[in-house]
Structure 1
Amino acid sequence: MVHSETITVDTRGRGTVELTDRIGRIVADSGADRGLCSVFVHHTSASLIICENADPSVRSDLERYFARLVPDGDPIFRHTLEGPDDMPAHVRSILTQASLSIPISSGRCDLGTWQGVFLWEHRADGHRRRVTVTILGDPA
């Protein structure tokens, strides 16, 4: 069986939005007992990560690390049509991921104890992001 849904995620600017529960509901509603959950973000300046979900300082540390690695306004970038955060957002999304694959077991995403799924907004301002969740699985 194949089941697919597209969700909209509103961000508040640079940072993460947890999607674990929303994706989990889609998996549960699909009726898949085992299989694979694919998550894909339809943008070039946001990405998806699986990260620790117990301590938010992990994600803020990642944000600070990426700010040092790919700073806004770096003079090496020529692509600045949408501002000084434009090209850095593209680089950040390329260094992370546009899609994730998560195993499904017993009708649930088979994530580790401390793992959560997050959309990572790389632009300074908030955006409306589109994420497609596709389930390939065997029914219960």
Structure 2
Amino acid sequence: MHQETKEFATPGRCIQEITADVASVVRESGIRSGLCQLFIHHTSASLIICENADPAVREDLEHFSQRLVPDGDPLFTHREEGADDMAAHVRTVLTQSSLAIPVADGRLALGTWQGLFLWEHRYRAQQRRITITVLGE
């Protein structure tokens, strides 16, 4: 087993690719066959596997998310940190706080157009912590 916790700076609300960072941890682990598990230590950002070729896909996801969970919705009473506070929590619950990706031949076994992304749901810049665990042989 190999485990590392990495910090990622986000500029605020965005979908930021982290595939290369995670792939580097898998390579350094020396594990040839197994599983790579990611966990984000936050309640207002999430992890997704998404298309990595066309940035319009990620823009469309953000636009859809804004329609589905609008900031400042009067339904929400939790607004400790602003209009995007509760919306960020809902977005995180609707997406994922952890991911599991197979490791084959010492590499992430992602599909041709798949990438790993940190989805920041807050407007302000943030420091996000992700634990990457590689299990196998």
Q: TM-score range by the shorter chain?
A: over 0.9
Paired residues for 1:1-140 under 5 Å: 2-138=1-137
1:72-118 deviation per Cα after TM superposition (whole angstroms, max 9, x unaligned): 11000000010000000000000000000000000000000000000
CA distance in 1, matches of 2:23, 2:42: 22
Deviation at 1:50, TM superposition (A): 0.2
The alignment's C-alpha RMSD in Å is: 0.4
1:35-76 deviation per Cα after TM superposition (whole angstroms, max 9, x unaligned): 000001000000000000000000000000000000011000
3-state DSSP class of the match of 2:33? strand
Q: Matched residues, percent identical? A: 59
Matched residue type, 1:105: A
Deviation at 1:16, TM superposition (A): 1.1
Matched residue type, 1:49: I
Deviation at 1:124, TM superposition (A): 0.8
* TM-score after normalising by structure 2: 0.99
Matched residue type, 1:87: M
Matched residue type, 1:62: L
3-state DSSP class of the match of 1:91? helix
**Equivalent residues, number:** 137
Deviation at 1:122, TM superposition (A): 0.2
